[in-house]
Structure 1
Amino acid sequence: MSQQTFEKSLAELEKIVTQLEQGDVALEESLTAFKRGMELSKQCKDTLQHAEKTLAKIMSETNEELVFDEETK
């Protein structure tokens, strides 16, 4: 299976969580959905960790710091 975008994975994960929270799903289907949710959760976590490492590398290479505008808070 090819990896989908972070946004699509997160949307699918949210749908699964909602479905499981409602409790209207048969046990076998719940187990399958839970397994898929765990796969999506790992995929999203890995994607975020990779993005964080990439940003840290870019920032260290340019010797810059992230500056947040205080007015936007």
Structure 2
Amino acid sequence: MSLLVNASFSSQDFDVLCSALDAWCAERHIDIVSVEAQSAASTALDLYQAGCDSREKLLHALRDHRAA
């Protein structure tokens, strides 16, 4: 689970995260409000904080991580 203590996200950060997560869910035909999507969102936050700070990087890393 993500540790968001003292984390601050701009609207641009939020847009990158949402865009990558939306694309990932659409590729897999997963409802954005499902438990699987919630888990992927947590993973996306972790990956974003680890340096995957563009939609493309984040989506690629999310695909790799969730495929494992």
TM-score (norm 1): 0.35
The structure whose RCO (Cα within 8 Å, separation 6+) is larger is 2
- Larger Cα Rg: Structure 1 or Structure 2? 1
